[in-house]
Amino acid sequence: MTSTPKVWPFEEAVKLVERYRSGPPEKGYVLLETGYGPSGLPHIGTFGEVMRTTMVRHAFAALSTIPAKLVCFSDDMDGLRKVPDNIPNREAMEPHLGKALTSIPDPFGTHASFGHHNNARLRAFLDAFGFDYEFKSATECYKSGEFDETLLRVLAEHQAILEVILPTLGEERQATYSPFLPVCEQTERVLQAKVEEYRIKDGTIVYRSESGALVETPVTGGRCKLQWKADWAMRWAALGVDYEMYGKDLTPSVVLSAKISKILGHAPPDGFAYELFLDDQGQKISKSKGNGLSIEEWLAYAPQESLALYMFQSPKKAKRLYFDVIPRQVDDYLTFLQKYQAEDEAKRLENPVWHIHEGHPPTPELPITFGLLLNLVGACNGEDKSVLWGFISRHAPDASPETCPLLDRLAGYAVRYYHDFIRPQKSYRTPQGKEIAALEELRSVLEKMPQTPDAEKMQEEIFRIGREHGFEPMKDWFSCLYEVLLGAAQGPRMGSFIALYGAKETARLIGRVLAGENLAA
């Protein structure tokens, strides 16, 4: 590779190349980490972090011979502070507030705890996408002793850590803050308790319990966990994390955790601050609120490749994450897939599909857009994708669901998306003035055309009719076609639509309009 491709996964991967330019790390591999807080159900932002980090890992593999691993870490030992809005049996959760997520009964009744349930949901989805990762649970790491050595280091350096954290806190919080949160043996609650004494030689702390008694407890073996910023830094040091992304809102926390990481003797990982996802109202999506799109909802209407593209594009720009963004992402993916075939090696490394498919994108199928399929569903009032295949097969006789599996999936998605989101918003209007004469001529032209006309020639005819009937600007003519025939403000390239839908069918559609028939009925 003569030069680094000018796309963000490679730009991030270069950081790791520079980090170990003198040789591989002592552990023998580069470690990239993603974090997940399972206080709510996994949401699409969690998936995005794993997808983006995977893209950086793959870019790094193209630049370096050092092995790389990805760890997905669950902060499932955190105490539950608020019952999420989007779970069943919310009242039954109230008595368990303050307990670690893995110590709270599963409201869904399927796993050992709420934390285990949410972890399973995340892992099942990541596995379905084929991510190569190692899953780690905070509860398991704390209780198994994997973190013990680093926790003792935190204890030994607690004063230096306090000097980093305390200036960022209010006066009242400063008086009670400790990096350690003891876990009460009796109640299983993770306590925000005042630590009275740090006994470094004994590996313990002495804290004042909820009853006011002094209690001594080890900082190891899962008897304590750390406060958020100290916990993040401890994890980096214990696991040897080299790279981690984070939401832009966590930037102040990253700064403090990096200082603590250095105190613990570990160079802070390189990182990347991505912007947050917004719902349809422009609000930040939240695990507890359940606003915005879920992973399952996106995949009900579009293939996973379109979701991966959404994550690839403009990660430093806040983006709306709602149903109306889906069609554009599908068609952009298809466009990039088509372009990839004609690009040289350098350009291919900058094409999103190289990153989505880890360097091996599939061969593109028929050049039929998702938007075109959506309009086809509306025009033929299709209730099943087999109806769409009747039109597709006439347009391309050799095509079938077996030879074009992606197109077959898109046809099914198009039917579902159209009926759930587009049909309820349809608004047809009747043609007026010169529009009537133009439509009459277009119908006459279509009746003389072959059933499957050439899309380019059809487009030229549409333009000619628009010019001869005095449409200026020309977009007024196309707006007429969209609003009168398709009931929408925007639409597909009409030449391509007619080639797919059929000249005779389009002529009959125009005839129904000119006869005064209500297409919305």
Q: Domain check: are 102 and 57 in the same one?
A: yes
Whether residue 362 is preceded by a cis peptide bond, meaning omega within 30 degrees of 0, is no
Query: What does the block give as tokens for 487?
Result: 């009931």
Q: Domain check: are 117 and 143 in the same one?
A: yes
Q: Domain check: are 212 and 238 in the same one?
A: no
Q: Domain check: are 195 and 237 in the same one?
A: no
User: How many domains are there within the chain?
Assistant: 2
In a domain, 376, yes or no: no
In a domain, 255, yes or no: yes
- CATH number of the domain within which 126 lies: 3.40.50.620
Q: Domain check: are 38 and 118 in the same one?
A: yes
In a domain, 171, yes or no: yes
Q: Domain check: are 49 and 184 in the same one?
A: no
- CATH number of the domain within which 202 lies: 2.30.30
Q: Domain check: are 32 and 111 in the same one?
A: yes
CA atoms within 13 A on the CB side of 417: 28
In a domain, 207, yes or no: yes
In a domain, 111, yes or no: yes
Q: DSSP string of 451-470?
A: SS--HHHHHHHHHHHHHHTT
In three-state secondary structure terms, 433 is coil
Q: Domain check: are 76 and 182 in the same one?
A: no
In a domain, 295, yes or no: no
Domain that holds residue 72: 8-148+228-278
**Alpha-carbon torsion angle 446, 448, 449, 450, nearest 10:** 130
Indicate the pTM of the whole model: 0.89
Q: Domain check: are 177 and 56 in the same one?
A: no
Q: Which candidate, 100, 57, 63, places its Cα nearest to that of 78?
A: 100
**Residue 41 confidence (pLDDT):** 66
In a domain, 299, yes or no: no
Q: Domain check: are 41 and 141 in the same one?
A: yes
In a domain, 410, yes or no: no
- Examine the fold and report which residue of 226, 252, 267 is the final residue of a domain before the chain moves on: 226
Q: Domain check: are 46 and 185 in the same one?
A: no
Distance between CA atoms of 192 and 49, rounded to whole angstroms? 30
By CB neighbour count within 10 A (0-12 exposed, 13-18 middle, 19+ buried), where does 151 fall? buried
Q: Domain check: are 62 and 206 in the same one?
A: no
Query: What does the block give as tokens for 481?
Result: 């076609």
Which strands make up the sheet holding 214-218, listed edge to edge? 195-199, 204-208, 214-218
Beta carbons within 10 angstroms of residue 276's beta carbon? 15
Return per-residue pLDDT of the chain as tens, 521 residues: 668 899 999 999 999 999 999 999 999 999 999 998 887 666 777 888 999 999 999 999 999 999 999 999 999 999 998 888 778 888 888 999 999 999 999 999 999 999 999 999 888 878 988 999 999 999 999 999 999 999 999 999 999 999 999 999 999 999 999 999 999 998 999 999 999 999 999 999 999 998 889 999 999 999 999 999 999 999 999 999 999 999 999 999 999 999 999 999 999 999 999 998 877 777 776 655 556 678 888 999 999 999 999 999 999 998 888 899 999 999 999 999 999 999 999 999 999 999 999 999 999 998 899 999 999 999 888 888 999 999 999 888 899 999 999 999 999 999 999 999 999 989 999 999 999 999 999 999 999 999 899 999 999 999 999 999 999 999 999 999 999 999 999 889 999 999 999 999 999 999 999 998 888 76
